[in-house]
Amino acid sequence: MERDEKVFILGEEVAQYDGAYKVSRGLWKKYGDKRVIDTPITEMGFAGIAVGAAMAGLRPVCEFMTFNFSMQAIDQVINSAAKTFYMSAGTVNVPIVFRGPNGAAAGVGAQHSQCFGAWYSHCPGLKVVSPYDSEDAKGLLKAAIRDPDPVVVLENEMLYGVGYPVSDQVLDKNFVLPIGKAKIMRPGKHITIVAHSKSVETALQAANELAGKGIEAEVINLRSLRPLDSETIFKSVQKTHHLVTVEQGWPQSGIGSEICARIMEHETFFHLDAPIWRVTGVDVPMPYAKTLEAAALPQVPDVVTAVNKVLGVK
C-alpha cells in the first residue's frame, strides 16, 4: 500500500476492528477510510464493488472473513473477475486479490471448514496461491497484489498465529515470490510427498517420523495451485519413483486427483514403481465434534501409512 496508492483493502471488519484475525492491524490508522474500508455483511455486494474498482484501474484487496463466505460472491469472482480479460479480447485487466482464511479451522462446523483449492483452481482466468509459512505469506501476497490478473489467496486460519523462522532475504521489503513455482521443503530420495497450506506441516512431520525408519521423503510445498508447478513434481518423482499427495480438501476432483492425472499424461508415469496414493480429508461435511473433526482431516499417521503402503513397507 505504501508502494502503490492504487492498492486498497475492503471487507468485513478490516478497518476499525483491525480485521477479524488482525491481519490488517494498523492499516486503517495509517491509511484512513479511503483505502481501508469496512463493508456491510454482503459478500456479493462488496466483491462486485471491488471487481468494478479493478476494472477502473485500482488494485483492490477483497477480504472474505472466511472463504466459505465467498460462495455468496462466487458469481463476481468467476463471471465478473476471472472471465473479463478473455471476454474483452485482452482490453480489460482485472488486477484484484481475493484473500482470507480457507479450509478447516477448529470447531466451526461443516459450513465454515471446507477447502476451496480445487474449486477455484478449476477456473481459467484465476491464479490461485495457497501459502504455508511466513515466507510464502509475504512473498505470494505481494506477488498477488502486483499481478495484472485476479488472484485468489487461500490463507489458513490455524497458521495465522504460528511464527516461522525467516531469512534476511525474506525480511527485505523488496522480497517477492513468483506465482506458479513450488518449493522443495525437504530433499529426499525414496518418495515424494506433495502438499499445500497446512498439509505441508503434516507432510514435514510425517517425513521426520519416516526418517527415523530410514525412509527419506522429499516434501514439496506447492505454494501455487493454479498455475500448478508440474515440472518440480515430475523431476522429483523421476528421482524417487514414488508419490503421495496430501491435502485437507475432499478427495473427489481434488488437487491430488489433478496431480495424479498430470503424472498419468506425462512420461513421468513410466518412472513410477508403485501407484500414487492420495491422503485427503474424508468425503463428508466437516463434523462438529472435536474427535470426529480430527478423524475427518489428514493426520501424520495417515501420511506415514500411505508412504509405507506405496513403498511396500510392513
- Whether 31 and 69 map to the same domain: the answer is yes
- Whether 11 and 143 map to the same domain: the answer is yes
CB 300 within 8 A of CB 306: no
Catalytic residue among 2, 13, 112, 196: 112
Distance CA 2, CA 54 (A): 18
- Whether 18 and 39 map to the same domain: the answer is yes
- Whether 198 and 165 map to the same domain: the answer is no
- Whether 21 and 148 map to the same domain: the answer is yes
**Does 196 participate in catalysis according to the annotation?**
no
- Whether 142 and 12 map to the same domain: the answer is yes
> Does 124 sit behind a cis peptide bond, omega within 30 degrees of 0 on the bond before it?
no
Q: Domain containing 129 — which CATH number? A: 3.40.50.970
**Does 266 participate in catalysis according to the annotation?**
no
Residue type, 22: K
Overall average pLDDT of the 211-224 stretch = 98
What pLDDT was estimated at residue 252? 97
Overall average pLDDT of the 10-33 stretch = 96
In a domain, 131, yes or no: yes
Overall average pLDDT of the 255-277 stretch = 98
Indicate the residue among 171, 204, 237 that finishes a domain: 171
3-class DSSP state of 128: strand
Spatial neighbors of 235 by CB under 8 A, at least 6 apart, are: none
Catalytic residue among 2, 12, 43, 157: 43
Lookup: cell for 170? 525474506
Overall average pLDDT of the 35-55 stretch = 98
Overall average pLDDT of the 24-42 stretch = 97
Across the chain, what does the average pLDDT equal? 97
- Whether 164 and 288 map to the same domain: the answer is no
DSSP 212-280: TTT--EEEEE--EEETT-HHHHHHHHHHHS-EEEE-SS-STT-HHHHHHHHHHTSGGGGG-SS--EEE-
Domain count within the chain? 2
- Whether 148 and 282 map to the same domain: the answer is no
- Whether 190 and 286 map to the same domain: the answer is yes
β-sheet with 97-101: strand ranges across: 36-38, 7-11, 59-63, 97-101, 151-155, 127-129, 224-226
In a domain, 177, yes or no: no
Question: What are 187-196's pLDDT values in tens digits?
Answer: 999 999 999 9
CB 198 within 8 A of CB 248: yes
pTM of the model: 0.96
What pLDDT was estimated at residue 314? 80
Question: What are 83-92's pLDDT values in tens digits?
Answer: 999 999 999 9
Overall average pLDDT of the 156-171 stretch = 95
Tell whether the model's pLDDT for residue 159 goes beyond 90: yes
Distance CA 196, CA 203 (A): 9
* Residue 303 banded pLDDT, cuts 50, 70, 90: very high
- Whether 133 and 211 map to the same domain: the answer is no
The closest alpha carbon to 115, from 157, 77, 150, belongs to 157
What pLDDT was estimated at residue 258? 98
Question: What are 228-260's pLDDT values in tens digits?
Answer: 999 999 999 999 999 999 999 999 999 999 999
Tell whether the model's pLDDT for residue 17 goes beyond 90: yes
In a domain, 165, yes or no: yes
Which structural domain, as residue segments, surrounds residue 121? 7-171
